[in-house]
Structure 1
Amino acid sequence: MLELTPLTPAHIPLLQKYLRAYPRQSCDYAICNLMTWGKIYGNSFTIWKEHLVIVNPKYDYVMYPVGPGLSAKELRELVDIYREGHPLTQLVLIPEDWQIKIPDITQYFQLREDRDWADYVYLIENLVKLSGKKLAKKKNLISQFIRTYPEYQVIPITSDKKDVIIRFSEKWRRERNMEGIYLNAEFQAIKNTMEMWDEIPVEGIIICYKNRISAFSIFSEQTVDMVTEHFEKFDPEMKGSAQVINWETAKYLQDRYIWLNREQDMGLKGLRQAKSSYMPAFLVKFIFGKPLD
């Protein structure tokens, strides 16, 4: 069995050490997600053959190890060790360039791509400029919002805004009748994020009009040139608020990063349409590896 240790904020320096040396574009490797969603899933880790290995025990997932690289045979050895107590274990988040780095992995695993869990990545510059006919409607909605709410402000999220963010998130979910296992878990992840705000590397902004919150976004660094937006909520009664929070987030980040990862659509039709409408530059694939018998 692997000797696993539950992930806590005390392990953030260790995570940063590995992920800065061996960056991954998948949002599942973002430290904020590892901490906040990890609290829900019970994420644990170990160091195995000088690689950081993160395990999601709720779904019996072994995340592809972070480090200089293991052979396909070693990856199978790792998964088999965890399978001793968890026979349904799968290796997840296999790099897209596996055919170059580990071409023989198909001798040990059956690979499967899941489109529902692919990350949407955008050029931040494009989200700021919103050029072209396909994005013209979004630009017009932003202009309408500015005309209707000319005195709106953009303020940074701090830990003292915890209750405001949680209440707004609950209101958003209730009014849009958004329920389900994932969405309930997302609400808990937002609560976890706000409760851990001063312990984890995370930022965010609020769109505020006359002391009323219109929208917010929460994000954190993914790699040196990519930032990941973890949560984005808006007031549907304020026309254009959805477009404004996206635009203001991009403006807030444009001097520090090139790419914005807006995470997955989970197979939700409306969310897929919304994320696709902003014309992503590329998707980060989610590839499973089921051990072959």
Structure 2
Amino acid sequence: MDFLPLTLDAKNVWDKFLNPFPYRNSSYQFTNLYLWRKFNNTMYFASENYLFIKKGTEEPYFMAPVYKDALHAKEAYTMLFAHMEQNGHDKVLRDVEKSQLEDLKTLPFTFTYELHRDQQEYIYSVEQLRTYQGKALHKKKNHFNQFIRNHEYTIKYIEDSVKECIELAEKWFEENEYSPQLYHELLGIRDLFLNMASFDLKGISVFIDGVCQGFTILEVIQDEVILNHIEKAQKTFNGLYAFLAKTALEEFGDGILYTNREQDLGIPGLRKSKESYMPLFLEEKYVVRFT
């Protein structure tokens, strides 16, 4: 079983396997995997009936297999476990979403599982974030109003401001403390913008005095969910993040129930920020260990 590096050519494989499944999380979405492929060393193996995803270098790990239909579930897990045993990997799966866990419970395998809080994804009401109605979001509405009151701005679609968005991402990276994760995020942002024709991305950029000061990249991943891949803004403009979140959903959120703003990775500041937008619920993800 030969795993291949994730490239743009693999998108048709993801479309084949993922389109039938209404996953709300970002972990299995091709755009997300492609964005972080260099950081995670993402690789895959696909047959006619199932798809396996592997991440990591020194200690690689596997995600739950994606299969053509339930008839191939047992076969997929059996094949994956055989590969793991042959290559000395622990029989552990990560980023397992709830529907996958429920499928596993119907199969003849013995396992334990635990909720992975740091990887749970924040799901919000599109209607709440595009209006900031209610007491709980009053601060966000104030930040939004502060921005529009204090700044003259121009909004562009991201496809009309690729160069400027990349320049802002580079500047944002330079002004923040270095980390390998932020560096690879920058590489991924460049890749998405330079290959926009290969994706169905949506988003806005905000210009102040002719300079791009913020942008957001979104993608509708199923009929009821729009995923927020990236959101960058200069912190010197108070309220710009609140403006981006609201305005992007005003533009692209019609008829969509939920928006996914992804996980907090256990980072306290990021968790506080995501909680401040008042999620409806957290999309569960599990670590599953087989015996």
Give the secondary-structure state (helix, strand or coil) at the position aligned to 1:29.
coil
Quote the Cα distance in structure 2 between the aligned partners of 1:10 and 1:73.
26
Distance 1:164 1:100 in 2: 45
Is contact 1:94–1:287 with CA below 8 Å preserved after alignment? Answer: yes
Structure 1 stretches lacking a partner, 5+ long: none
C-alpha deviation, 1:107, in angstroms = 4.9
Unaligned stretches of 5+ residues in structure 2: none
Q: Does 1:140 align with 2:142?
A: yes
Residue pair 1:155, 1:207 contacting (<8 A) in 2 also: yes
1:204 partner letter: G
Deviation of residue 204 (structure 1)?
A: 2.0
Match of 2:229 in 1: 230
Q: Which residue of 2 aligns with 1:166?
A: 166
- Which deviates the most, 235-244 or 33-42? 33-42
1:94 counterpart = 2:93:
no
Count of matched residue pairs: 288
Partner Cα separation in structure 1 for residue 112 and residue 48 of structure 2 = 24
Change (3 A) 1:99 1:222: closer
> What is the alpha-carbon distance in structure 1 between the residues aligned to residue 48 and residue 289 of structure 2?
21
- Distance in 2 of aligned mates of 1:186 and 1:216: 15
Q: What SS does the corresponding residue of 1:28 show, helix, strand or coil?
A: coil
Where does residue 114 of structure 1 map in the other structure?
116
The 2-side partners of 1:71 and 1:13 are apart by 21
Q: 1:86, 1:9 → 2: CA distance?
A: 29
What secondary structure, in the 3-state scheme, does the structure 1 residue paired with 2:89 have? coil
Quick one: distance in 2 between partners of 1:248 and 1:71? 42
- 8 Å contact 2:65–2:76 — kept in the other structure? no
Question: Aligned equivalents of 2:186 and 2:81: distance in 1?
Answer: 31
> What is the CA RMSD across the aligned residues, in angstroms?
2.4
Q: CA deviation at 1:225?
A: 1.6
Q: Which amino acid aligns with 1:246?
A: A
CA drift of 1:179 comes to 2.7
Q: 1:135-186, CA deviations, whole angstroms, 9 ceiling, x for partnerless residues?
A: 111101111111112x32221112x7444223212322333x3332322222
Shift of 1:266: 0.9
Task: Give the % identical residues.
Answer: 26
Corresponding residue of 1:85: 87
How far apart, in 2, do the equivalents of 1:64 and 1:279 lie? 29
The equivalent residue for 1:43 is 42
Match of residue 207 from structure 1: 206
TM-score (norm 2): 0.89
Distance 1:99 1:219 in 2: 27
SS at 1:80's partner residue?
A: helix
Q: Does the 8 Å contact 2:52/2:80 carry over to 1? A: no
